[in-house]
Structure 1
Amino acid sequence: MRTLNSLLAEYSESHQTAYNKRIHYVCVPAIFFSIVGLLACIPIGNLFADFNPEWIKSYLHFGTLGILLVMFYYLKLSFKLFVVMLLFSVLVLFGIQVVDGFGIAPLWVIMLIVFAIAWVFQFIGHKHEGNKPSFLKELQFLLIGPAWTLSHIFKF
């Protein structure tokens, strides 16, 4: 398994211009948020209903399960990255609950719109830069994108 530094360096190769970087700083977290939100629309049901306090039941969905699985990958790469991604993921889960609470549209509709808009801007940024998105080379970079973004924001 490659190191976090080598993965971040390789991801950076197709993210050189300030314009593309700014787009990624907004759109990568938005895509992460929307994917978790879409997964949150798939309930686990009453599988754990008897074992959990009431406040946690709204977080029992496939979005949370997806985050837990991804956290193992980040932990293998770096403990610091794991902690930052875990904190970010908690904010994402809370944000999904807030958005769902607004009740302006079904959650899946909102998340699908966010997902589509964010990807359109991602491709605009790559078109501007003249580089293909990294995930076209290797799917692993779909998980490295959030790490790269947060590593730039928090300078680690």
Structure 2
Amino acid sequence: MNTTADPQAFTRPIDRWFASYSADHQNPVNQKIHYVAVPLILWTVTALLWCIPVPGTWFQAGFWCALAMFAAWSFYYRASRPLGFGMLAVFIAMAWFNRWLYGEIGGAMLLKVAIAVFVLAWIAQFIGHKIEGKKPSFLTDLVYLLIGPAWILGKSFRAFGLKF
């Protein structure tokens, strides 16, 4: 995909989102930072949601995380079925990891770890954008907070010759 092409030239919304996101992420160092920081931020958000107490006895820890994952997955699935299934696999892995960590270290420690990783990953993101010389995409549209993880996954798909 030519990342310097006009984003409006693509027919699918996901292609336009990716073209626009790619235009803000041309520097190889910034891209490498994003390959690490974006998945970490996604994980921390799921972990933070995992730690929100659930009222009553019908639901267990992770309920709010599952709701948010379902909403995000719906966005990805509508944008591209292959990306939707890829993100579903990512979400299942993160949910499993969160459940395991919650059981091993408890909710209070999971919360502390997630906050620390969240802050460090965002610092890395802003350093990457300082190197890039462009502001983060989400400052123009919050949807880019959802596009970042899909963009990373899309790059992985392309690396393996998979279409999305």
| Partner of residue 128 from structure 1, selected from 112, 131, 134 | 131
Question: 1:129: how far off?
Answer: 0.9
Q: Establish whether residue 20 from structure 1 lines up as the match of residue 30 from structure 2.
A: yes
1:33 is paired with a residue whose SS is helix
Alpha carbons 2:51, 2:61 under 8 Å: kept: no
TM-score by length of 1: 0.87
Aligned amino acid, residue 125 of structure 2: Q
Counterpart of 1:54 in structure 2 is: none
Query: What count of residue pairs does the alignment treat as equivalent?
Result: 147
Counterpart of 2:80 in structure 1 is: 78
Aligned-pair identity in percent equals 37
Aligned amino acid, residue 37 of structure 1: A
Question: 1:95: how far off?
Answer: 1.4
Please, what is the CA RMSD of the aligned residues?
A: 1.7
CA distance in 2, matches of 1:147, 1:95: 20
Question: 1:98: how far off?
Answer: 2.7
Alpha carbons 2:50, 2:61 under 8 Å: kept: no
TM-score by length of 2: 0.83
CA distance in 1, matches of 2:83, 2:150: 7
Higher RCO (CA-CA < 8 Å; seq separation 6+):
1
Question: 1:45: how far off?
Answer: 3.7
Alignment of 1:1-156 (within 5 A): 3-48=13-58, 57-59=60-62, 61-103=63-105, 106-155=109-158, 156=163
**What 5-or-longer segments of structure 2 have no aligned partner?**
1-11
